[in-house]
């Protein structure tokens, strides 16, 4: 019972409010768990380092990846958060979900 209470307290601590009203975001995984990741294609630039992207399915060698689902927005961590991004539409990358944001890392 003590371990369950200790675990619950640890999770509550991870989700606590930070100073200045900022919500603290944590990612907790269990052994063997993986972060979800998708292959994506850049559809267009939105603003700063934010892009409109769509998930793709990678097929056999020599075939073009197939777009699936709907477009969403993702942040390119390889570019400045304070300047306009320069990534070209049609660029492929791997996107991860971190907290409530989609992120990827791709250089122009």
Total domains in the chain come to: 1
Q: Show the domain range for 53.
A: 31-104
Please count the CA atoms within 13 angstroms of the CA of 52 that sit on its side-chain side. Answer: 8
Query: What's the pLDDT score for residue 27?
Result: 58
Q: Are 25 and 100 in contact (CB under 8 A)?
A: yes
Residue 5 lies in a domain: no
Residue 24 lies in a domain: no
User: Rounded to the nearest 5°, which phi and psi values hold at 81?
Assistant: -80, -10
pTM above 0.75, yes or no: no
Q: How far apart are CA 56 and CA 93, in angstroms?
A: 10
CATH classification at residue 42: 2.40.50
The mean pLDDT values, 10 residues at a time, for the chain of 108 residues are: 62 56 56 75 95 94 92 94 94 91 90
Residue 6 lies in a domain: no
């Amino acid at each position: 019972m003590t371990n369950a209470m200790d675990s619950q307290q640890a999770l509550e601590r991870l989700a606590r409010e930070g100073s200045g009203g900022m919500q603290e975001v944590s990612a907790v995984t269990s052994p063997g768990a993986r972060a979800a990741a998708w292959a994506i294609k850049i559809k267009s630039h939105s603003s700063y380092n934010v892009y409109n992207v769509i998930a793709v399915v990678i097929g056999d060698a020599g075939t073009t990846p197939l777009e699936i689902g709907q477009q969403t927005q993702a942040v390119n961590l390889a570019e400045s958060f304070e300047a306009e991004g320069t990534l070209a539409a049609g660029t492929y990358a791997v996107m991860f979900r971190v907290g409530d944001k989609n992120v990827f890392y791709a250089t122009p």
